[in-house]
Amino acid sequence: MPDLSTRLGKLNLKNPLILAAGILGTNADLLKRVVESGAGAVTTKSFSINKRKGYENPAVIELIENRQKIGLLNAIGLANPGFEKFKEEMEKFKSCNLDTKLIASIFGTIAEFPKLAGMCENYADAIEIDVSCPHVDDSISKNPKILKNLTGEIKGLISKPLIVKISPNVTDIKEIAKAAIDGGCDAIAAINTVKAMKIDINFGKPILANKFGGYSGIGIKPIAVAKVYEIYSMMKKENLDVPIIGIGGTTTGEDAIEMLMAGASALGIGSVIHYREIDVFGKILNEMDEFMKEHNYKNIGEIKGIAVE
Ligand SMILES: Cc1cc2nc3c(=O)[nH]c(=O)nc-3n(C[C@H](O)[C@H](O)[C@H](O)COP(=O)(O)O)c2cc1C
């Protein structure tokens, strides 16, 4: 049997599949179902200190181009009920003592991020900062200096692992990843959604209430693979070894293997749940297991980064 366990710094995961932020991560019961489906770790939906209303509908649509289902476009606007409600859900989830890890995804201003990270650290196994949502404010993930300082400030405050989730909507993602690493992050999550738009040609208007949204799902997989590859390649050249959570379009076990080959240590699983149901985690794990047996790979370490020169 191939060994699917992996490590994100101090965090040991029984397998590399992590529920990505924003999909089903709103309450303990849903998170529990994802764990029962086989996830190695789960991420909450991003939440802020105070509740946020988000945008009007339509906020999420399925993208169909030339009759092909190519993914989802969302501009939810990080609607969430705020820290106190998430605290209750994280406590409820933790009280189930499941064999998994809980990642709290947080969102805020430069001043709020460190405060919220401190507020959350007793309720989760790791903190992920969402500085990269393309339909809200992703300015932090576009400014290496600010990102490095913010990462350093949060690291100085918390003892739990810190994951920085970065954006593909930048000129050079390597520079942004390097800033997070220089700030001392324990892992990089790449990528958040790709800024995109869909226009309804019958009305001559963008469909989403927010006009722009974040594109996710199968269509962004090649973009995510390229970004993970670029980051891993930069780290190799600079002798750095910070784990990458590869996120974007993973739909099958073969996709997961491809992301590992580009340099990921673990994988975020998001939009595919819409297409393959909540038990997709077990399905992807079986597909990975089959591929690894067929190709004689014994563990994730033998696959990680092998495509990177
Ligand atoms: C409906 C929806 C909501 C999302 N909400 C968040 C969020 O709250 N925080 C975040 O960091 N990313 C959020 N994302 C981005 C995902 O975590 C992930 O980075 C992206 O969807 C790419 O992965 P995928 O192609 O597997 O879905 C959201 C994505 C979708 C589709």
pLDDT tens figures, 67-82:
999 999 999 999 999 9
- Is the residue at 291 inside a domain? yes
Binding-site residues for FMN, in ranges, read: 45-46, 165, 191, 217, 248-249, 270-271
Q: Whose CA is nearest to atom 21 of ligand 1?
A: 216
Active site (annotated) includes residue 133: yes
Which residue from 19, 23, 60, 281 has its CB within 8 A of the most atoms of ligand 1, so it is best to mutate?
23
Looking up residue 101, the CATH number of its domain turns out to be: 3.20.20.70
Reduced to 3 states (helix: H, G, I; strand: E, B; else coil), residue 13 is: strand
| Ligand 1 centroid to residue 21 C-alpha, Å | 6
- Is the residue at 52 inside a domain? yes
- Is the residue at 165 inside a domain? yes
- Is the residue at 119 inside a domain? yes
Atom of ligand 1 nearest to the CA of 247: 23
Largest CA distance in the chain: 55
pLDDT tier at 133, thresholds 50, 70, 90: confident
Quick one: 132 exposed, middle or buried, by C-beta within 10 A (0-12, 13-18, 19+)? buried
Number of domains, the chain: 1
- Is the residue at 23 inside a domain? yes
DSSP at 301: G
Q: Which pLDDT does position 191 carry in this prediction?
A: 98
Q: Which pLDDT does position 1 carry in this prediction?
A: 87
Span 48-60, mean pLDDT? Answer: 95
Span 253-282, mean pLDDT? Answer: 97
Q: Which pLDDT does position 203 carry in this prediction?
A: 97
Residue 168 has pLDDT above 90, yes or no: yes
φ, ψ at 217 (rounded to 5°): 100, -170
Residue 137 has pLDDT above 90, yes or no: no
- Is the residue at 234 inside a domain? yes
| Ligand 1 centroid to residue 164 C-alpha, Å | 14
Span 47-60, mean pLDDT? Answer: 95
Residue 158 has pLDDT above 90, yes or no: yes
- Is the residue at 308 inside a domain? no
Record the tokens describing residue 181, joined without a space. Answer: 């690493």
Residues with CB under 6 A from ligand 1: 20-23, 45-46, 60, 72, 74, 76, 78, 105, 130, 133, 165, 192-193, 216-217, 220, 247-250, 268-272
Catalytic one among 96, 120, 133, 185?
Answer: 133
- Between residues 133 and 169, the one the model is more confident about: 169
Q: Which pLDDT does position 84 carry in this prediction?
A: 97
φ, ψ at 255 (rounded to 5°): -60, -40
* Percentage of the chain modeled with pLDDT above 70: 100
* 221-235 pLDDT, tens digit each: 999 999 999 999 999
Record the tokens describing residue 16, joined without a space. Answer: 């590399």
* Percentage of the chain modeled with pLDDT above 90: 96
Q: Which pLDDT does position 138 carry in this prediction?
A: 87
- Is the residue at 30 inside a domain? yes
Q: Which pLDDT does position 239 carry in this prediction?
A: 97
**What's the rounded Cα separation, in Å, for the pair 138 and 195?**
11
In terms of residue numbers, what domain contains 143? 6-302
Q: Which pLDDT does position 134 carry in this prediction?
A: 87
Q: Kindly report the average pLDDT of the chain as a whole number.
A: 97
Span 115-126, mean pLDDT? Answer: 97
Q: Whose CA is nearest to atom 18 of ligand 1?
A: 192
Cβ atoms 278, 24 nearer than 8 A:
yes
